[in-house]
Amino acid sequence: MDRAGIFLESLSLEDTFHFAKLADENGFDSIWMPEITWSDAFSLATAAAMNTKKVKLATGVVGIYGRSPALMAMSVAGLDELSGGRAILGLGTQARPYVELWHSAKFERPVTRMKEYVQATRKILENPFNVTYFKGKIFDIRGFVLTVKPKSPKIPIYVAAIGPQLQRVAGEVADGVLGYFYSVKYVKENLMPNLKEGAERAGRDISSDKFDVALGLPTLIDDSDERFEMIKPLVAVFTVATGSSPSYQTILGDLGFSGNVEEVSKKMMEGDVKGAVKKIPDEMAKQVTLCGTVSEVKQRIQEYRAAGVNLPVPNPTPPYAYYPLYPTHLPDKLGAGSVDYNGLREQVKRIILAVSPKG
């Protein structure tokens, strides 16, 4: 049976609890809990664990500048014990503005930091009740003892990677990669070669080793002729999210939409969301999202599977939503953006039932 995950993002604790159970009952492989501003990922994952039996609980993702490897190991080990061995640790550098403007840390050497972070965290997790030392270029951990034994003999660690350098790190040291907003073309021509290159550095064969290529995509299911209009505001948000990753624009440019990217950027920086949306053709929105009728979305998922994605992870998107991803991302006059919470709940339920591996 083909696997699928799902993001449960920006939901209340009560709704997280409810939809986690629904995803579990419908055979989903994993639930992914992001961490930006609404809650820490481990609290929500713990809540989801309490109301589920089989589905894996993944941080999707937590930042490596806000926690030390020792603290991260303790947190995920606790989640793994509580859930009976169902934890997945998704790690990300997160955006430079998050790190520097919110957490007062320096966004330095992200590639080296990620590689060492994965290595150090894994070493701690696989050495419970023993003294752990780790010496790298950035991290120097001396004499830490993890006094809990995870249920899983090896908690999977995924690296969130939009750009090529972190994709290579994922292939080199991680158990999986978590991408976002990729086109099928980008998966084939960029992601898979970068993962392979990283794996070859470590003498790994990710085609035979257990390695997950997970991909999150903004997802909206609707039968109306306006379905692409409903998701275009969020496409505009990612089009101008250069402070998060310049690779979003690279992906769109490689699809032939460089001119549209320039026009969307101009309108969004003016605070004209409607004007930006008008510069996005349906095909541009289609190539980097899962948007359409149930049958259209299922077909798109199969296209990604054929390209090498073995764990598609839809991220339910309410109609006409837009919001800043980090400070300075969107003009101040747009404030916190616009999100229809009831529309989000409706999309979560619709997507779980439509994409269900049991369906």
CA angle at 70 for the pair 101 and 201, rounded to the nearest 5°: 85
- Rounded CA separation 131/284 (Å): 52
Pick from 169, 177, 162, 221: nearest CA to 200: 169
Q: How many Å apart are CA 41 and CA 88, to the nearest integer?
A: 11
The pLDDT value recorded for residue 348 is 98
Mean pLDDT, rounded, of the chain: 95
- In the numeric block, which tokens belong to residue 176? 């999986």
- % of the chain with per-residue pLDDT over 70: 99
Give the list of residues 6+ apart from residue 210 with CB closer than 8 angstroms, or none.
Answer: 175
Question: Helix, strand, or coil here: 42?
Answer: helix
Q: Please, are residues 248 and 212 in contact by the beta-carbon 8 Å criterion? A: no
CB 193 within 8 Å of CB 200: no
**Has residue 247 been placed in a domain?**
no
- Where would I find the H helices in the chain? 13-25, 41-50, 69-83, 96-97, 110-125, 164-173, 184-186, 192-201, 227-239, 247-254, 258-269, 273-278, 282-287, 294-307, 341-355
Determine, yes or no, domain membership for 245. Answer: no
More confident residue, 168 or 13: 168
84-95 confidence digits (pLDDT tens): 999 999 999 998
DSSP string, 251-268: HHHHTT-HHHHHHHHHHH
- Residue in the block written with tokens 């806000």: 66
> Which of 63-72, 179-188, 205-214 has the lowest average pLDDT?
205-214
Decide if 170 is inside a domain. yes
**What's the CATH code of the domain at 311?**
3.20.20.30
Q: What's the pLDDT score for residue 98? A: 84
Domain-located, residue 332: no
d(CA 290, CA 7): 13
Report d(CA 123, CA 347) in Å as an integer. 39
Q: How many CA within 13 A on the CB side of residue 344?
A: 17
> Would 153 be classed as within a structural domain?
yes
Identify whether 328 is part of a domain: no
Structure tokens at 160: 């969130």
Would 266 be classed as within a structural domain? no
| Least confident segment among 18-22, 97-101, 249-253, 286-290 | 97-101
**Of 260, 184, 250, nearest in space to 217 by CA:** 184
Q: Residue 197 class from Cβ within 10 Å (0-12 exposed, 13-18 middle, 19+ buried)?
A: middle
Query: Which tens digit of pLDDT belongs to each residue from 264-282?
Result: 999 999 999 999 999 999 9
Rama region for 308: left / alpha / beta (φ>0; ψ in -120 to 50; rest): left
Q: What is the pLDDT of residues 253-268, one digit of tens each?
A: 999 999 999 999 999 9
* Interval 18-43 mean pLDDT: 93
226 pLDDT band, cuts 50/70/90, is very high
The answer to whether residue 176 sits within a structural domain is: yes
- Compute, in degrees rounded to 10, the torsion defined by CA atoms 335, 346, 248, 170: 120
**SS3 of residue 313 by DSSP:** strand
Q: Rounded to whole angstroms, how far apart are CA atoms 313 and 309?
A: 10
Q: Give the pLDDT of residue 136.
A: 97
Half-sphere exposure of 59 (CA within 13 A, CB side): 30
Residue 294 to residue 189: CA distance in whole angstroms? 27
Residue 359's CB: how many other CB atoms inside 10 A?
A: 12
Residues 328-342: b if buried by 16+ CB within 10 A, e if exposed: ebbeeebeebebeee
* Number of domain units in the chain: 1
Range(s) of the domain holding residue 152: 5-220+290-317+339-355
pTM of the model: 0.96
| Nearest in space to 79 (alpha carbons), one of 25, 148, 27, 170 | 148
